Structures are given as structure tokens and as C-alpha cells.
């Protein structure tokens, strides 16, 4: 009899733990950047904590987006000019069946390219179109979000410090 009376209470506790404990992470300027669920082209997992202490620019892109490829080329040029200023991650959001490696080779993309195979990271960051980029501070907070091409002056400012 006592077990039956505890069942509703235990059910409520478990439901609350699931509901509030599994809160989906979302990207907000000024807040801690959500975890990323991405892999490099060799299948190795990449995590945000690998870049702690460095300014990070994450550029979400698609292989069929000419503007994205142009922006990646621009970012690559800036990274070569200012190698110690900003770490850049080019996160492809075309999904697990896309041949991202072929696009990287064809377009001669020299940046670190990662795949958001399950589209979890794009969802966490609210990516609805490409290119979309985020600047993350050395402490791991989101400093800025850019939808579309990042203006040249903004890139200069970011890389020159």
C-alpha cells in the first residue's frame, strides 16, 4: 500500500529531473557557448574546451553555398596574416551523407574543417542559413554572431586585435 502512494511522488521527481536536467543548450551572445558535437574529416571528435584560452571563430557553411566558400577563403587569408590571433573552425552542416572531403579538395579549403554530421551543433547555435559565424572569447563566451558574410572591416578588427 505504501509503495502505491509513493509512485506519484517518485514519478513527479523523475519527470522533473528529466525535464530540467536535460535542458537543451542554446547560443546567446554574452553567455557560455554551447558544446559542439562535431568531427574532423578523419572522424576525430573536436570539443570547445580544446580552444580554451583562445579567441575562436566558428563559421557554419554548406558545400553548395558559393558565398560560404568565398568567406572561408577570406578567413584563411586572414589566418595566414595573423596566425596567433584567432582560431578558425569551418563547420560544415550538410549532414552525414555529404562528401565534405571532396568539396574541401575541389575548393582548396585549407582551414580546419569539421562536420556537424547529426546537425546537433547547428541546432544548438540556431543556424538557419549559411554562412553563419560566431566569435567565442578565450573564456568560452559568445561575443558575436554574424549571419551572412562577415564585413571586411569587422574581420580586420577581429584579427588585428
Residue 59 domain-assigned? yes
Residue 120 domain-assigned? yes
Residue 55 domain-assigned? yes
Q: Residue 134: which domain range?
A: 36-160
Given a cut of 80, whether residue 5 has pLDDT beyond it is no
The tally of CA atoms less than 13 A away on the side-chain side of residue 124 is 17
Within 54-128, strands assigned E span 55-61, 86-92, 113-115
The tens digit of pLDDT for each residue in 25-42 reads 899 999 999 999 999 999
pLDDT number for residue 2 = 55
Given a cut of 70, whether residue 145 has pLDDT beyond it is yes
pLDDT number for residue 24 = 67
pLDDT above 90 coverage of the chain, percent: 80
**CATH number of the CATH domain containing 118:** 3.40.30.10
Mean predicted confidence (pLDDT) in 96-105: 96
Q: How many domains does the chain have?
A: 1
Given a cut of 90, whether residue 16 has pLDDT beyond it is no
pLDDT number for residue 25 = 84
Asked if 77 contacts 108 with a C-beta cutoff of 8 angstroms, the reply is no
Amino acid at each position: 500500500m505504501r509503495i502505491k502512494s509513493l509512485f506519484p511522488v517518485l514519478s513527479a521527481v523523475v519527470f522533473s529531473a528529466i525535464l530540467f536536467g536535460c535542458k537543451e543548450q542554446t547560443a546567446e551572445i554574452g553567455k557560455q557557448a554551447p558544446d559542439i558535437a562535431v568531427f574532423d574529416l578523419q572522424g576525430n571528435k573536436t570539443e570547445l574546451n580544446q580552444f580554451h584560452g583562445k579567441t575562436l571563430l566558428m563559421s557554419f557553411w554548406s558545400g553548395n553555398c558559393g558565398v560560404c566558400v568565398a568567406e572561408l577563403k577570406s578567413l584563411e587569408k586572414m589566418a595566414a596574416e595573423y596566425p596567433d590571433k584567432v582560431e578558425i573552425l569551418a563547420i560544415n552542416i550538410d549532414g552525414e551523407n555529404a562528401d565534405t572531403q571532396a568539396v574541401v579538395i575541389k575548393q582548396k579549403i585549407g582551414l580546419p574543417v569539421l562536420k556537424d554530421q547529426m546537425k546537433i551543433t547547428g541546432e544548438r547555435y540556431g543556424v538557419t542559413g549559411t554562412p553563419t559565424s560566431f566569435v567565442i572569447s578565450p573564456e568560452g563566451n559568445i561575443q558575436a554572431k554574424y549571419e551572412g558574410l562577415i564585413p571586411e572591416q569587422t574581420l580586420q578588427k577581429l584579427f588585428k586585435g
